[in-house]
Every structure is written in structure tokens, then in C-alpha cells.
Amino acid sequence: MIAIIDYGMGNLRSVQKGFERVGFEAVVTADPRVVLEADRIVLPGVGAFPDCMKNLEQGGFVEPLLKVLQDGRPFLGICLGLQLLFSESEEFGIHKGLNVIPGRVVRFPEGMEEFGEELKVPHMGWNQLSVKRRPPVLAGIEDGANFYFVHSFYVQPEDASVVATTTDYGIEFCSSIWKDNIVATQFHPEKSQQKGLTILKNFGAMK
């Protein structure tokens, strides 16, 4: 069973429908006990980092999340679900994250340009992945494949070995990470058409 954590911040139904389309049962749950019993965990998220952390804490999800990660169960973080794994974020001040992946969440710099034109923040739309390490969820995804992004902040891991893919948007930034049972993406698989469904299918098949 795949548990999609409902802590009030995320496009949960579209993630659930994505799993259903590729043949996997997924439940949206606001119950930490269901998270503890699940075979696989998905942490989506949209919105502001401090609000997400507050909701995770108030919903009683932090300890169950840390336990299932330590147990080695497959975990997929999406967008803010990636950022929350890190030590801290600079969004609206400095705020502590789950500290599962050492590093920071920082804002895109002002004045980024491409081909002489200023790039807008948030980074919104389709962009390419450059594969650095290939986790199981990227099986069948070619280098340079396009996925859908919506974000103003990006992650800076302290350990470069956790970087699975990077993407260029004014700068080269980490667009997904992989460490043991943990995979997390800055892009949205559930909004990325067939290639996104491939990632969800691969995750559903992870042992």
C-alpha cells in the first residue's frame, strides 16, 4: 500500500490518480498511524516551507516519517516534499527542516538571464533533466527528458553524491536526489504526462 501524506499542503488527488493510472493502490491519509503501516510513502507539497513544517509537526507526522525512512521503506518526495528533507530553508527567514539530507533550501538569485533575457522566478514550466546518478525510479527515462516545475527555491545538498539529476535555469541546480530508499524530485511527476507516470510506476515497483 502506498500512503500519500495529507498535511494540508499538496496536490494530493492528482498524485493519487497518477498511481491509479499505472496500476497501484494509493491512499491519501491524514493519519500518522497509516503512514507507519504503509509499504511506501509519498510526501507531496506546494506552498511555503515554514507552513509545511508546521503542519507536519501539528499533524504528528514527523516521528512516523523519520521512522519509516530509517526502516528503509521506499519514500518519494515531490516539490516541497524534497525540500522538507533538508536541514533548513531560507524561505521567510531560516526554518529547520527534517534534517534527513544535510543541506539548505535557497532562493533563485535575482537577475538571472538566458539568451539575453531575464528569467522569471518562480521557475515554472517544462525543463530538462541531466542525469548524474540513476535511481530505480528513473528507469526508462532518457537523459534530457522534460518534466514540469513550479518553484522559487531549490536544494543545495552538502554531499554531492546524493544528487540524481540537475536542471539548468539561469544556474545549474539539483532537481532530484537519491539516497538509499529515499528519492525526491523538485519537479512534479504527476504533472509530467507519460514520463511522470513512468516515475510513479517505477516507484510503485520499488522493493
Active site residues: 79, 188, 190
In contact, 129 and 83? CB cutoff 8 Å: no
DSSP string, 101-134: EEEEEEEPPTT-EETTEEPPSSEEEEEE-EESS-
In contact, 11 and 46? CB cutoff 8 Å: yes
Q: Cα–chain-centroid distance for residue 110?
A: 24
Phi, psi of 57 (to 5 degrees): -65, -45
Cell of 43: 510526501
Partners of 26 in beta bridges = 2
